[in-house]
Amino acid sequence: MEPKEAALKGAEEIAFTVVAISLSLVAAFIPLLFLGGLAGRLFFEFSMTLVFAIAVSTIVSLTVTPMICGQLLKRETREERAGVMARISDAYARSLEVAMRAPWLMAGLMVAAAVWAVQLYIATPKGFFPSDDVGLVNAFVEASPDVSFDEISGLVSRAADIIAADPAIASVAPALGGGRNTSNEGRIQMTLKPLGERPPIRQVIERLRKPLSEIPGLRVFMSAQQEIRAGAREGRSQYQFTLWSRDLKPLQEAAPRVVERLRKIEGVRDVSTDREANGIELAIDIDRETASRLGVEIEAIDAALNTAFAQRQISVIYGRRNQYRVVIEVVPERARDSADVLNVYVPTSNGGQAPLSAVATMTRTVAPLVVNHQGQYPSITITYDAAPGAAPGAIQEQITRAVAELRLPDGINAEFAGDAAELARAAGSQSMTILAALLVIYLVLGVLYESYFTRSRFSRRCRPRGLARCWR
């Protein structure tokens, strides 16, 4: 044929196949458009981009490509067509002949491929998002609940010095307080050197773990800064598991059991909790009869304790440019031990002073430093991380089974939070998304071919000569 006529004829012959393949590809991405959660938001952009690319490719295949072939290709004789393309065409025809003569073998191979794909899906490690290396590492430090400010300050400074001595660290920024009104925590933010001047961020974290773990009285949790996070409250590790209940007491009793069980799971590390239940609480019991006899008022006791230990602001000094707030407190030498509270003097009604120990007694009890809430209910969040080589999806399944085996009391609810919740949500909908994609592809092909079953018919005129000769 002439090039233009051949191009039109060729486009006409492949039009249905091109449209069928393109529609089946688009059908594979339709379920991703309705995928929920954070993963759905990301896959929506990905799916729309590919659907648009497939549509443009289909139009180009049926219009632009035949037009270019009709204008640029030259008419060739049968002898001129001999060469590499002819040999490739003959080889393809011979392989097609074998496939058409053994349809059950091809069907068996297809079933084996489907079974293998399912096995690969089950065995493939599943995670949330790949770890980013943006050159930022967050380190959370934790000491005992009864630690003093001076002691936690020294421990954080020592950890910061160890981190700063590493050759991969560019800068270190330590800070006290963990953002939850707790005095036994700190945070260290570190910036790494450019990637060409240091190893990957995972290796830097693993290298710092050993010297930091040797600091007595301090636990350090390190994690790489991630570009994409699913939220939830601040934690010491990437993944979170939350327990919540209407009653705080059984919740406080169940949390240590869950923490201990999670630490025994292989591949789980850096298990910690925001349950700080070992803080020291001082209960002041005022003897009202003695206080009345000495002329000490209850308001005077409150004011004396507030002035001594609550950093009460009593005045403001105004300068030409700045203002200076004056804060009164007891001297540090008088506030090193809990017994020093009873040595505070309170004013009496007759103008004198009396020690607090004369009108009150003190008892020490253990109380939580902070009680977090999820919604309106008290909650305890357990954070954990996956060890190198461990799949977060498999770890989630083990945690679910382990918590179920503990048989927590009724009224205690357990659920994943943050990145772990998004991972569980995505894993739960992944299987349905794949099945929906397969179903949509099958329906699209069934509509296009107007049949629910397709059978390949080997042309009778080709059987005596063979498909390779018929192909020519």
Number of Cβ within 10 Å of residue 398's Cβ equals 16
Q: Which amino acid is at 365?
A: T
Q: Return the H-helix or E-strand segment holding 160.
A: helix 149-164
206-215, 400-409, 429-438, range with the lowest pLDDT: 429-438
Q: Could you tell me which residues come within 8 angstroms of residue 87 by beta carbon, excluding any fewer than 6 positions away? A: none
List beta partners, residue 175: 187
Selection from 424, 397, 396, 286 nearest residue 346 by Cα = 286
Which has more pLDDT, 402 or 148?
402
Q: Which amino acid is at 85?
A: M
Q: Which amino acid is at 264?
A: K
pLDDT band at 458 (very low <50, low <70, confident <90, very high): very low
Mean of pLDDT over the chain? 83
Q: What local confidence, expressed as pLDDT, does residue 82 receive? A: 62
Which has more pLDDT, 470 or 382?
382
Measured CA distances, 269 to 84, 127, 198, 241, 378 (Å) = 59, 16, 25, 14, 25
Provide DSSP, 449-460. Answer: HT-SS--PPPPG
Given a cut of 70, whether residue 61 has pLDDT beyond it is yes
pLDDT mean over 272-296? 83
Given a cut of 80, whether residue 129 has pLDDT beyond it is no
- Residue 354: is it exposed, middle or buried by C-beta count within 10 angstroms (0-12/13-18/19+)? middle
Domains, the chain: 131-227 (3.30.70.1430), 282-361 (3.30.2090.10)
Q: What local confidence, expressed as pLDDT, does residue 24 receive? A: 85
Say how far residue 420 (Cα) sits from the centre of its chain: 6
Given a cut of 50, whether residue 472 has pLDDT beyond it is no
Reported as half-sphere exposure (CB side, CA atoms, 13 A), residue 225 has a value of 11
Contact in structure between 395 and 268 (CB atoms under 8 Å):
yes
Q: How far is Cα 326 from Cα 319, in angstroms, rounded to an integer?
A: 13
- Strand residues in 331-444 grouped as ranges (E): 345-347, 353-355, 360-367, 372-374, 377-386, 413-418
94-103, 376-385, 463-472, range with the lowest pLDDT: 463-472
Q: How far is Cα 128 from Cα 427, in angstroms, rounded to an integer?
A: 9
Q: How far is Cα 160 from Cα 150, in angstroms, rounded to an integer?
A: 15
Contact in structure between 7 and 73 (CB atoms under 8 Å):
yes
Given a cut of 90, whether residue 317 has pLDDT beyond it is yes
Number of Cβ within 10 Å of residue 461's Cβ equals 8
Tell me the pTM.
0.62
Given a cut of 70, whether residue 467 has pLDDT beyond it is no
Q: How far is Cα 100 from Cα 102, in angstroms, rounded to an integer?
A: 6
Q: Which amino acid is at 387?
A: A
Q: What local confidence, expressed as pLDDT, does residue 96 receive? A: 86
Lookup: tokens for 373 = 């809430």
Provide DSSP, 13-75. Answer: HHHHHHHHHHHHHHHHHHHHHT--HHHHHHHHHHHHHHHHHHHHHHHIIIIIHHHHHHHH---
pLDDT in tens, 77-121: 666 666 777 788 888 888 888 888 888 888 899 999 989 988 888
pLDDT in tens, 3-24: 888 888 988 888 888 988 898 8
Lookup: tokens for 319 = 């300068």
Lookup: tokens for 313 = 């602001």
Residues in the chain: 472
pLDDT mean over 151-162? 91
